[in-house]
Structure 1
């Protein structure tokens, strides 16, 4: 797991010294940019190079990655400074085991998987940069054909609403 953790400043320095073509490849400014990504060919090093113009795009990126792999994600913790988000962590839907619940237990849905995607606001460029990414799972994946049935991938589009 430690090998998945990388020094954020190393990644930021790599972005700063790489050429403009590489920067554009990893700069996500719209949903269209996300739809062009081949998630099956991404390495951990590639994921650390992405930077996003807003927090919503960072979530959509990780959610799209999760859909391709066959798991569901949810928003976890965030950190605000002066009323503005500075960090956001997204985790697997099954991330933590539920214990000491007040309500009657439901069938077990959490397995303790520690997969995560953590971004922070890099103030100099005003973009969201990947701080931590772990892609180690301790559970089975859903086949891609059925991934649309997982919680984070169920979406009603404007077209569906208008019907």
Structure 2
């Protein structure tokens, strides 16, 4: 009997949330609801949170990512291609509360109904909350790196574990250039040669590292191409430039990698993105950090609310 058919004594599927269900941690509850969402075809995000004076979470709400409505942005009227409205005011949610006696979280409220259609099974891996590697996979990658196994080899291994490379997105190198110098003029020349090989058809999106010279050259040659920053490269730069300051501050169990990942993959609303960023700067006392200022200045090129529809 498959997992979809497994039922407990109350007649409920063991993968479906129910009131009074308990969890040891907030993350465990998130993962359970996210797995449930993945099975049905919807994405989730964290909603409100209440904490005690000691910092212990006392209650937390998880919502469907189509909850609420996007705040009207006055700049939308000036935008050529305004972002599509993705929220529908969906009321589906899961609320957990901390029980001091049990020392566990329990489900205090569960709203099952959604006001929108679900994503087809073959597309659920593209949902925001599903586009992540698991904690066990992250540990596996870290162990592989410490053992001298190259990163691409570690991903190759995980790909084989879940059905082979055909089950994952591949990177294919179809061209390369060896440059004598990295000036704006050189990149303009390179991009023009690239367009020639592509029959003058420019890509919809181009991902680069945080190279200011390339950023200058791209709009000259490809004005209609959206320029985004490679999140992997951005993360490596974050670890070099800002990780130490987060280790020194009171960010419990979180380094720069965890902090930045939230803005890359979890926060879908522009207003929430800005508020959370300011909150992070205040909490960690890093308002004067030069690298963070520069990175926030180009948030439209890497932050989830700005690039998710690109």
Task: Give the alignment's TM-score, normalised by structure 2.
Answer: 0.38
Q: Give the match for residue 99 of structure 1.
A: 71
Q: Please tell me whether Structure 1 or Structure 2 has the larger radius of gyration of its CA atoms.
A: 2
Q: Give the match for residue 130 of structure 2.
A: 153
- CA shift digits 1:55-80 (9 cap, x unpaired): 10000000000000100000011001
Runs of 4+ in 1 over 4 A off after TM superposition: 36-41
Distance 1:46 1:154, change over 3 A: closer
Q: Give the match for residue 50 of structure 2.
A: 79
Higher relative contact order (CA 8 A, sep 6+): 1
Which of the two has greater strand per residue? Answer: 1
Q: Secondary structure at the match of 1:65?
A: helix
CA distance in 2, matches of 1:144, 1:153: 12
CA distance in 2, matches of 1:130, 1:64: 16
CA distance in 2, matches of 1:72, 1:107: 17
Aligned residues: 128
In the TM superposition, residue 143 of structure 1 has moved relative to its aligned partner by 1.2
Gaps of 5+ in 1: 1-35
| 1:129 aligned to which of 78, 85, 106 | 106
In the TM superposition, residue 100 of structure 1 has moved relative to its aligned partner by 3.0
Q: Give the match for residue 195 of structure 2.
A: none
Q: Give the match for residue 55 of structure 1.
A: 26
Contact 2:20–2:108, Cα closer than 8 Å, also in 1? no
Gaps of 5+ in 2: 77-81, 143-150, 153-310
| 2:41 aligned to which of 70, 89, 92 | 70
Task: Give the alignment's TM-score, normalised by structure 1.
Answer: 0.69
CA distance in 1, matches of 2:48, 2:28: 17
